[in-house]
A and B are shown apart, each in its own frame.
Chain A
């Protein structure tokens, strides 16, 4: 197990290096002069001399490798640079924004997991029944409905009409409901479909058939045999779902005026706030790598073959 995990971590390291490089180059390659952007926000029109001085101050005139090394060096001190737009530390900006995003993302992740796996197992156990066909269609439908459209419909027909649901903005539990629904429908539908198929497969495996032949109750088989076996591929998938939710939150946060990292990213792209864009790519990439590592670890904990140092499945 130790070696397996070590190999997983070894894969993660080049990913992290690539992320820093990509995030840095993203900054360097982007169009628009960040110095001029910062000085001219709000309708000011800075002179070329002011822009040049500000470029110097921001270190934009140094050669690229020097800027990269400075940048990475700063990362270890928690320094993600300063926002070009309002001169605040990027770590401070994203620090304020990360909590709302995690609240939204983790809530949606929890809903996705519970609803997706729960319904998937139910439909899988009742495969090819009317319930299953209905479930399949609904899951296909939900996977096809654009989340931003769902969000619009929820705002107009639920939020504005009911006194209970807040329409938009940041706040307690009530404020989470509509964005979480809009955000988790797509991922939950996918997870549900996958869980259903995994359950069906396991249900048809020889040992389950044997157990059924022995007359062991269906519920007991499901809980003792089928679900633990089906859970393995599902865990890998959960990692991917997390990425999907993180990406989806960019759109959903903007629509619901949710003050998270996603809406900050959209703002940063339109203002060419390069350090913020780079830091976002880096942070979410690192988050994604960590989630994948975690799913690998839990995979290893559940599957004894991996614990003994074997390879995962036949994949690649």
Chain B
């Protein structure tokens, strides 16, 4: 439920610990097999992103077009995944729903990482009172479950897509800021940074040239993992009626609208649920796999 939960923070924070313990590949074939954990979820995620991005061109129907003559039909030649209570084509709604869900998740990830990076850099690089103040603030915010913060912000702003985005960003950046802060803190103490400092390099140059590029892999891993976590948060809030508002198709709202019909036409609830699970699963697997590869790369260096 939380954006990036504790064990991930700990894992990302200590890449050295996991890399030392990774087993040596036993077979030469393992190179190919080893890539599968990246290729498979990566392909699934890519398909989902493409499907959502090109939904207007792929979908055969307007996702909000009603057809009262064809309500609640099961899968047919015209409607591969059937229609809902208003005769709307489920496949089209699923594609558009993915679009809405993934767009919010994508923007959410950008916001969460962006704010986290800025705050983390401020605290970790400049240290001193700024660090003290920010760290205290972060500690306080981290004392609350992310979903609770999200709900609290959503409570102030009122439900809706924009509020949902603000709420997940407003509650999600805290954990990231802490990770970035400690990464930058440890990077800053490396000899070559100290050297750059003593050679009179400006702070912005050091940040751009040396510190931020070093965070790149952490950012990729966090972002990939975030997508999965955010999709779960977005869909559960939309499901509760607090997120994306009908009739906009969204996987969470679709599930909510399907509830009365679960017994009659289970496919209405099953398919969006599978979509959420598969995309979230893929992003988790991909994130894990990238992290493993990065760790191996570091070890071989």
Contact = CB atoms under 8 A, between A and B. Distances in A.
Contacts of A128: 23
Contact of A15 (B140, B154, B277): B140
Interface stretch (A81-89, A245-253, A302-310): A245-253
B269 A146 contact: no
Contacts of B278: 144
Nearest to B26: A128
A269 interface: yes
A243 B2 contact: yes
A109 interface: no
Interface in B250-281: 255, 259, 262-263, 266, 269-270, 273, 276-278, 280-281
A204 B17 CA distance: 11
18 contacts: A19-B143, A140-B288, A143-B284, A144-B276, A147-B1, A148-B239, A153-B269, A156-B263, A156-B266, A191-B7, A194-B11, A240-B2, A243-B144, A247-B147, A269-B154, A284-B145, A288-B145, A316-B135
Given A31-B156, A146-B280, A194-B10, 12 more contacts: A15-B140, A26-B156, A141-B281, A144-B280, A145-B277, A146-B232, A148-B239, A156-B266, A246-B148, A281-B144, A315-B10, A316-B178
Contacts of A19: 140, 143-144
Interface string A280-301: 0100110011001000000000
* The 5 A-B residue pairs with the shortest CB-CB distance in the complex, in nearest-first order: A247-B147, A240-B6, A144-B281, A243-B145, A144-B280
Give the interface SS of chain B, mostly helix, strand, loop or mixed.
helix
Nearest to A194: B7
A251 B239 contact: yes
B144 to A, nearest CB: 5
B140 A247 contact: no
Nearest to A204: B21
Contact of A29 (B7, B156, B259): B156
A30 B228 CA distance: 30
Interface residues of B, number: 57
Given A254-B240, A288-B143, A160 B10 contact: no
Interface of A: 11-12, 14-15, 18-19, 22, 26, 29-31, 128, 140-141, 143-149, 152-153, 156, 160, 186, 190-191, 193-194, 197, 200-201, 204, 233, 236-237, 239-241, 243-244, 246-248, 250-251, 254, 265-266, 269, 277, 281, 284-285, 288-289, 292, 315-316
Nearest to A155: B262
B285 interface: yes
Interface of B: 1-2, 5-7, 10-11, 13, 17-18, 20-21, 23, 135-136, 139-140, 143-148, 151-152, 154-158, 178, 181-182, 185, 228, 232, 235-236, 239-240, 242, 255, 259, 262-263, 266, 269-270, 273, 276-278, 280-281, 284-285, 288
